[in-house]
Amino acid sequence: MKRVLLIEDEELISALLAKKLSEGGYDVTVAGDGEEGIVKAKMQNPDIVLLDMMLPRMNGLEVLQEMRDDADLRDTPVIIISNSGQPVEIEAVRKLGAKDWLVKTNFDPGEVLEKVRSYIG
Amino acid sequence: MRNTDPRISKRLPEDPKGTFQEDVFVLEEYIQDLWRFFPLPICYVNPVHRILEVNEAFLEFTGYTNNEIIGTYAFQLWKGAKEGSALEEELLKRDHFEREIILTTKEASRIPIRLYAQLRRDSAGEVIGYFLALVDITREKEFSGQLEEKVQERTKQLEDMRSALLNMLEDTEEARKRAEGDRNRTRAIITNFPDGLLVLDASQHAELVNQAAERMFDVKARDILGKSLDQLKLFSTILPLVELYEASEGGVSHKELEMAGGKVVVVSALPLQFGEEFRGAILALHDITREKEVERIKTEFVSLAAHQLRTPLSAIKWTISMLLDEGGGKNLTEQQRDYLRKTYRSNERMILLINDLLDVTRLEEGKYLYKPEFGQIDALLKNVVESHQGEAKRREAKLKLELPSKGPIRILMDAEKIRLVFQNLLENALSYTFKGGTITVSLYLRGGDEEVEVVVQDTGMGIPQGQQRRVFEKFFRATNAKKVDTEGSGLGLYLAKNIVEAHGGTIWFESQEGQGATFHVVLPVKKEIEEFLKTF
């Protein structure tokens, strides 16, 4: 079973998305802030990371930077799920290798599941 | 003239052989021939001013015959009796007399002449008559008249030239004063200009530095004036600017440069070129430290606002979405599902409004045109129209697309934003068109294929005359539109206008209330990409 790490501080969002992804056949782990996200990523070496940008303790950009500095996590695909999304921000995460930027209000959980499937099958 | 003067024969000596008399005849003939031949009008007059003899030229000149003129009073030819008598007296006083007078011919022509008189006297000195010679001076008079005119004309020209010269001198003086004033004004402007200015002369030495530049470089003008570029490099604060200028080979425009103390400036170099001649350069430094900071704060704010506003909305959206999903909502009654669908739709509208607001904020930030690329406008329109066919059907309206036969048509655009323009125009057209109405989207190539024009025409309610000029304002909604569709954000056309203008295009409309509206969008096809990229 493919492992998905979901780093998201909004509990309702992460609960809904985790449920959807589990139903879709993935092994989902949830982290509620950036630091916890990095720890769990290092422990589990997930197949894909869904990363929020505005997070307590360590923001999405910092998490992404740290993952890129870690040899084991460097090539793990990352999809940003954030409600921000200004061009400057998108450009910054693209430079760090993020695959996609999804604005949560513009996607349903089902569509997020489709995205995940398109990257890791 | 033969034997006319008895005094001659009286004085002749005895001449028994007659040879002497013969000689006299020969002489008389000689004189007669000469008299006849002489081209100058002459006459001989006795002391009481009766004409005794005239020559051929005299008759010709005056128009009289010999019979008419001989024995007449000489002065009747030229003057009234009064002046004539004064002239008579004067004439007889001197042996030689000369005077300009007017001669009246038989035909009453008046001819200016110079009159010459030569008295003849007998051996006792008594006046025995006089010769008169008339010289026509008409030509001379005319010539002198013309000459006078010419002299006057020339004098006037000279006077005009003189006053023109004086005026020029005055103008020059004024111009000099003005130039001096201008120069002082320019200096004052440069000195007090809020941007830093460093002027280099033709030999690339510092010629002028203003107060703002002194502050930015933290130097005194007297320390750097006259210094060469290499000498200027010795100042650590000026070094980066000089390096940038040298690397640019005479033309930096709008390059950001970080100065000592964390200040950020935009540097522009303007070569001062007069024709081919290089006269130096102006280096301008515009402090954008504050703008940079504002930009950063604004980005952060928009990011935060987007997050704060969208997060609860996405939670609602996802919750309802999960509830309505098959599996998640199978225990709901049809009425509950209906409520949830309506809630979902309301939530979607809220999301759209927030998205519009964020788009507007970003647009105002000047960052909206993120990805200008060459793309197919015809394909884009086809796609947008197709995605609205469902809505058109639901509203029982006809939605048509008319494309030119020539295609594909590629233009430089930010496709995502241009899509937004036509989505907005179509959504409006659909919202405000009545059942059975028609919406036509047409694409035309214009101006020698340099521009495209997209026309979105509907048969809807139109825009009231009095509100037409406000249509592109932020948050504006026409009164009749509000009655039919209460949920519009009033941002769609504002966005559309901004996007179109950011592409270098124009948008306008024609409408009459109750008779539909026609929106026109004109976009340039292929401006220089570099020029385009400069705009954001």
**A46 phi/psi in degrees, rounded to 5:** -70, 165
**Model pTM above 0.80:** no
User: Is the domain of B522 the same as that of B379?
Assistant: yes
Q: Which of B322, B357, B420, B533 to mutate to test the interface with A (most CBs of A within 10 A)?
A: B322
**A 13-32 → B contacts, CB under 8 A:** 13, 16-17, 19-20, 23
Chain A residues whose beta carbon lies within 8 Å of the beta carbon of residue B319: 12, 16
**SS3 for B44?**
strand
pLDDT value of residue B112: 87
CA distance B312 to A12: 9
Q: How far is CA A60 from the centre of its chain?
A: 9
The residue from B255, B287, B319 where one domain ends is: B287
Last residue of a domain, one of B364, B390, B421: B364
Tokens of B22: 């013969």
Q: Give DSSP secondary structure letters for B454-513.
A: EEEEE-S----GGGGGGTTSTT---HHHHHH-TT--S-HHHHHHHHHHHTT-EEEEEE-T
Most A CBs within 10 Å, among B298, B299, B303, to test the A interface: B303
Of the residues B287, B302, B333, the one at which a domain ends:
B287
CA–CA distances in Å: residue B134 to residues B115, B235, B414, B490: 5, 101, 105, 109
Same domain, B355 and B380: no
Q: What's the maximum distance between 2 C-alpha atoms anywhere in chain A? A: 36
The C-alpha atoms of residue B439 and residue B460 are separated, in whole angstroms, by: 9
Are B341 and B437 in a shared domain?
no
Classify B257 as helix, strand or coil.
strand
**Residue B379 and residue B511 in one domain:** yes
Number of domains in chain B: 4
In a domain, B82, yes or no: yes
pLDDT on residue B518: 93
Model confidence over B60-84: pLDDT tens digits? 998 999 898 898 888 877 655 455 5
* Closest-CA residue to B207 (of B182, B234, B187): B187
CA distance B468 to chain A (A): 33
Specify if B210 maps to a domain: yes
* Pairing between β-strand A27-31 and β-strand A3-7 as defined by DSSP bridges: parallel
* Inside any domain, residue B153: no
Same domain for B334 and B268: no
Pairs from B330-333 (Cβ < 8 Å, separation ≥ 24): none
- Give the gap in angstroms from C-alpha A72 to the nearest C-alpha of chain B: 31
pLDDT at B253: 62
Residues B337 and B381 in one domain: no
Q: Under CATH, which number does the domain A3-120 receive?
A: 3.40.50.2300
Query: Taking a contact as any Cβ pair under 8 Å apart, which residues of chain A between 96 and 115 contact chain B?
Result: 103-106, 108-110
**Which residue in A has a C-alpha nearest to residue B296's C-alpha?**
A88
* Residue that is written with structure tokens 């139903």 in the block: A23
Q: Length of chain B in residues, anyone?
A: 536
Q: Which of A55, A83, A88 to mutate to test the interface with B (most CBs of B within 10 A)?
A: A83
C-alpha torsion angle, residues B375, B379, B380, B386 (rounded to 10)? -170
Nearest to B325 among A10, A106, A110 (CB): A110
Report d(CA B156, CA B160) in Å as an integer: 6
- CA B413 to CA B527: how far, in whole Å? 10
**Is the CB of A87 less than 8 angstroms away from the CB of B367?**
yes
Q: In Å, how far is A13's CA from the nearest CA of chain B?
A: 6
Phi, psi of B258 (to 5 degrees): -90, 125
Would residue B501 count as lying in a domain? yes
**Residue B303 to residue A82: CA distance in whole angstroms:** 10
| B448 Cα distance to chain centroid | 28
**Contact present, B309 and B289 (Cβ < 8 Å):** no
- B310 in contact with A at a CB cutoff of 8 Å? yes
Instruction: Enumerate the domain spans of chain A.
Output: 3-120
| pLDDT at res. A37 | 93
Do B417 and B528 have their domain in common? yes
- Which long-range contacts link A92-98 to residues 24+ away (Cβ below 8 Å)? A92/A61, A93/A53, A93/A60, A93/A61, A93/A64, A96/A61, A96/A64, A96/A65, A96/A68, A97/A64, A97/A68, A98/A51, A98/A64
Half-sphere exposure of B487 (CA within 13 A, CB side): 12
pLDDT at B416: 78
Residue B165 to residue B257: CA distance in whole angstroms: 55
Mark whether B360 and B378 lie in a shared domain. no
Q: Are B499 and B417 in contact (CB under 8 A)?
A: yes
Q: Residue B299: its chain A contacts at CB < 8 A?
A: 86, 88-89
B227-255 tens-digit pLDDT:
988 888 888 888 888 888 887 765 656 67
**Residue B453 token pair:** 């024009």
Would an 8 Å CB–CB cutoff place A55 in contact with chain B? no
Range of the domain at B236: 193-287
The values of phi and psi at residue B214, to 5°, are -55, -45
Residue B522 lies in a domain: yes
Domain assignment of residue B130, yes or no:
yes
Pairwise CB contact (< 8 Å): A13 & B351: no
Domain presence at residue B521: yes
The answer to the question of residue B181 being in a domain is: no
3-state SS assignment for residue B80 = coil
Backbone angles phi, psi at B488, to 5 degrees: -55, 145
Cβ distance B307 to A23 less than 8 Å, yes or no, reads no
pLDDT in the model for residue B534? 47
DSSP state of B434: P
Whether residue A86 and residue B317 make contact (CB cut-off 8 A), yes or no, is no
Is the minimum CB–CB distance between A94 and chain B shorter than 8 Å? no
Residues 369 through 388 of chain B touching chain A, CB cutoff 8 Å: 370
User: Do B306 and A87 lie within an 8 Å CB cutoff?
Assistant: no
Q: How far apart are the first and last CA of chain B?
A: 120
Neighboring chain A residues of B304 at a CB cutoff of 8 Å: 54, 84
ipTM score: 0.84
Contacts of B310 in chain A (CB under 8 A): 83, 103-105
Q: Which two tokens stand for residue B519?
A: 């929106």
Domain check: are B382 and B446 in the same one? yes
Query: How do A3-7 and A48-51 pair as beta strands?
Result: parallel
- CB within 8 Å of B134: residues ≥ 6 apart: B40, B41, B42, B58, B61, B103, B113, B114, B115, B116
User: Across the strands, what pairs with B267?
Assistant: B255, B285
Percentage of chain B lying above the pLDDT 90 cut? 11
* Cβ-nearest to B315 among A12, A53, A87: A12
Distance, CA of B30 to CA of B26 (rounded, Å) = 6
- Say which of B299, B309, B314 has its CB closest to residue A13: B314
Residue segments in chain A with a per-residue pLDDT below the cut of 70:
87
The CATH number of the domain holding residue B225 is 3.30.450.20
Chain A residues closer than 8 Å to B315 by CB: 10, 12-13, 16
pLDDT reported for residue A121:
83
Same domain membership, residue B421 and residue B319:
no
Q: Looking at the complex, does the CB of residue B321 fall below 8 Å from at least one CB of chain A?
A: yes
Torsion angle, CA of B427/B431/B435/B440, rounded to 10 degrees? Answer: -30
**Dihedral angle, C-alpha A4, A8, A13, A19, nearest 10 °:** 20
Residues B489 and B382 in one domain: yes
Q: Name chain B contacts of A93, Cβ cutoff 8 Å.
A: none
pLDDT values of chain B reduced to their tens digit, one per residue, 536 residues: 444 555 555 555 666 677 788 888 888 888 888 888 888 899 999 988 889 999 989 999 989 998 988 988 888 776 554 555 677 778 888 888 888 888 888 888 888 888 899 999 888 888 899 999 989 888 888 888 888 888 899 899 999 988 888 888 888 888 888 888 888 888 788 888 888 888 888 888 998 888 888 888 888 888 888 898 888 888 888 888 888 888 776 565 667 777 767 788 888 777 777 777 878 888 888 888 888 788 778 777 777 777 788 888 999 998 898 888 766 567 788 888 888 888 988 888 888 888 777 777 666 654 555 567 788 899 999 988 988 888 888 888 899 999 888 778 888 888 878 888 998 899 888 888 888 899 999 999 887 778 899 999 999 888 888 888 888 877 777 777 777 665 666 778 888 888 888 888 899 999 888 888 999 999 988 645 544 444 54
Residue B300 and residue B215 share a domain: no
